[in-house]
Structure 1
């Protein structure tokens, strides 16, 4: 399926019904019945917003069960509107996840588990962690193991994110009771990457015999590609075979995560206040090691030249038509944007690398740093025009956004900005 045609953005006027809600607004509508993997639904009582409260969410799902059962067996789409932006969100169906779902906590003891863990040592930034989470979840589906996430570095992920379609927290109390002799831990972060190339030929029933498998991962491209070649993929997760990498990441991230109320409300209010009906233009400018995050590494392919990006963004300098948002790991870049544009805004929070923070930082500051990271990635995913530099964080924001419309890449080697298709990001940036 062509990514550009699947990820369609719709007129901005469609979102006006959500203007009175200080929350992310999601609606169901119906799509072309010829679509093989994607279906957009409409509730019996018409368009209805959700994510506003848990009650509304539960009401919406209970009202669509009959429709869901008769539609595509793999995924469903949620049509999402937030103020002046619009995107389609796709998630995996409950039916697709049935083999790894736990309906009741009392059933946890009957299951085998696969955990993504980030609690000590090197995990990487949030983009690296998302890659590890996506890979671990896919391996859980392939091996018929219930999935869980343990991330408390720098603080608990559950402080800011709830489970959405799949509940990755339900058995956490039981998992803490599984003894070490029935647990296998594997660390494939950094240079220990031999596992990735072997996935397609591994007999996981023989390799993973213990009840709890704990994985430390920070790669997803070789995992996605290898799973598609595994002998069990047709039986366990047929939906993945013809999916592009951006589609897979989009599906998994949105299936797993729903931002908590504070994050939803503050993001919605931030966008409403700063855009006021204007076209939202965003850029993520990843610099790497700089005075704002001196503990970070230098980028392997060099840092972008923000002057080139600012020159490109000058086509959007009309403050009546455009609002410009800059997400960056550098206060110098933030200040440069403020000096160049009258219509630019940013979150004005302390910049923190969630894996390389200073030991002297207070825990609350570090946790708020994680909040800022999650806030900015969600912000980028709602932009009408998006320009990214080479980073996992910005790339996954583009995948979450789910559209090739008005998507631009900055290429460090050529020092150029160019319009692209979402499926080309990997070939340009070459992530693992």
Structure 2
């Protein structure tokens, strides 16, 4: 009788385990949604084979993310743990990346602002200035000029609305009013590729001697940073704590952005709420710029709709709501809705209308700029990041301040690194691995 009871008990355990296993498989099936069924089978078998390794605190490669069990039973990604530690221990709690040394530059900015004799330089955006990425380019380049010449920096950004709707001053008081009665010069340099090499990079006379007005006003959307490698500015760059031999937008942007900005209170709250919703999970992000589409009809074509399946296949590797959150920011409402349908339990979205800061939906442009700024800063916290060939995605990747798990979406391919950079390894939709293209 006792032996029969044991057999019944064992049978119940086996049945219970079978039901649990079946529930997991069914749950994963529905989460995958429209993603290829063959891929789902392979993925679940892989997870089952590696289960013991997760529980024994060994690193396991899944796709391109290294997972490591660190005393928690979920096996959260190592990079995810690093991201959460970074944001939660930020000194100013503004949820910008840390581990960026700006102490010398911050001290220099303080000295400039305390100097009552200092002249001014202004970044001006009263109308068409390009999209968000173009504006970050113009602001950063103009600010660099101010640091090199010890001028006070001012931002006058009025289109489609005040920049203070999303950003406020951090270490630089850039929202001040200019004194009256000062001499000034203004240059319109939108899309002017010749200005920085001609005026900064090659002359043997310092720019402060050639631009001596009390106020210099620039409308600009071009990267000037490398031009400051001119030997004339080497000593000043060292004073600022910058490496003259490594001077590029990739290197300088996170430093200057952190000197200038912190999120406006409402934006910071939204950013904190979003990051809290992804706590203890890895954040996997894709910035998909399609170009001309019903949402933004006036934009040039950037990618074709038939290119999108490779993005969905890549993201499907992370379609597990226990371990990951997937965030997709895009210029197309159709793509936004497709992401929600494909990854219903894993997707994390931000509210707001999709706009291009310069090109469309101008009656909603200010509201749209708030979503743009929020999405931009979210991308800087992604553990895995795919970006399209656009300044918006590339500047977010720079602010992220890491090349780890960074991928580019270009011409129907996903490549390692920036989409404009050297393309050595491509994502294979069949093997789900990166390899050199044959």
> Same fold by TM (over 0.5)?
yes
Q: Does 1:88 align with 2:98?
A: yes
1:349 alignment partner in structure 2? 352
**1:289 aligned to 2:295?**
no
| Correspondent of 1:50 among 92, 115, 131 | 92
Residues 305/11 of structure 1: CA separation in 2 closer, same or farther (3 Å cut): closer
1:255 maps onto 2:263 in alignment: no
Q: Is the 8 A contact 1:304 1:389 kept in 2?
A: no
**Whole-angstrom CA distance in 2 between matches of 1:127 and 1:304:** 26
Mapping of 1:58-207 within 5 angstroms?
Answer: 87-94=97-104, 97-98=107-108, 101-104=111-114, 108=116, 110-120=117-127, 122-169=128-175, 172-173=176-177, 175=178, 177-179=180-182, 182-190=183-191, 192-198=192-198, 199-202=200-203, 203=205, 204-207=207-210
C-alpha distance in 2 between matches for 1:296 and 1:151: 22
Going from structure 1 to structure 2, the CA distance change for 1:289 and 1:271 (only over 3 Å counts) comes to: same
Report matched runs for 1:327-366 at 5 Å: 327-342=329-344, 343-359=346-362, 361=363, 365-366=364-365
Counterpart-to-counterpart distance in 1, 2:284 and 2:84: 19
Pairwise CA distance, 1:304: 8.1
What's the CA shift string for 1:273-316, capped at 9, x where partnerless?
Answer: 3x3532110000011121111233334x8788222211111111
Contact 2:237 2:244 in 1 (8 A): no
Equivalent pairs, count: 340
Q: What do you get for the CA RMSD once the two structures are aligned? A: 2.8
Per-residue Cα deviation, 1:333-353 (whole angstroms, up to 9, x for no partner)? 111112222322321421111
Q: CA deviation at 1:13?
A: 4.6
Compute the displacement of 1:99 (Å). Answer: 6.4
Q: Does 2:261 match 1:266?
A: no
* Distance of 1:428 and 1:304 partners within structure 2: 24
Q: 1:229 to 1:426 in 2, by over 3 A?
A: farther
Task: After TM superposition, give the deviation of residue 102 of structure 1 in Å.
Answer: 4.3
- Aligned-pair CA distance for 1:428: 4.5
Structure 1 residue 263: Cα displacement: 1.1
State the shift of 1:382 in Å: 0.7
Give how far 1:392 is off.
Answer: 0.5
What's the secondary structure of 1:114's corresponding residue? Answer: strand
The unaligned stretches of length 5 or more in structure 2 are: 1-76, 424-438
CA shift in 2, pair 1:176/1:310, >3 Å: farther
Counterpart CA distance in 1 for 2:83 and 2:107 is 31
Per the TM alignment, residue 319 of structure 1 is displaced from its structure 2 partner at its CA by 2.1
Pair member with larger Rg: 2
Q: Is the 8 A contact 1:183 1:211 kept in 2?
A: yes
The answer (yes or no) to whether the contact 2:170–2:261 under 8 Å persists in 1 is yes
In structure 1, the partner of 2:318 is 316
CA gap 1:167/1:292 in 2 versus in 1, 3 angstroms: same
Distance 2:247 2:305 in 1: 28
CA change 1:186–1:371 in 2 (3 A) is same
2:421 to 410, 427, 431: 427
Structure 2: how far apart are the matches of 1:284 and 1:228? 32
8 Å contact from structure 1 (residues 117, 151) kept in 2: yes
Alignment gaps of 5+ in structure 1: 1-8, 19-23, 28-48, 53-79, 82-86
Can you list the C-alpha shifts for 1:322-379, whole angstroms capped at 9, x where unaligned? 21100001001111112222322321421111112345x1xxx322111111000001
**d(CA) in 1 for partners of 2:387, 2:402:** 13
Q: Normalising to structure 2: TM-score of the pair? A: 0.71
Deviation at 1:101, TM superposition (A): 4.1
Cα deviation, 1:4-27, whole Å, max 9, x if unaligned, reads xxxxx9764577789xxxxx6444
TM-score, normalising length: structure 1: 0.72
Contact 1:96 1:237 in 2 (8 A): no
- Once the two structures are superposed, what CA deviation does each residue of 1:373-404 show, in whole Å capped at 9, x if it has no partner? 10000011111111111111111111111112
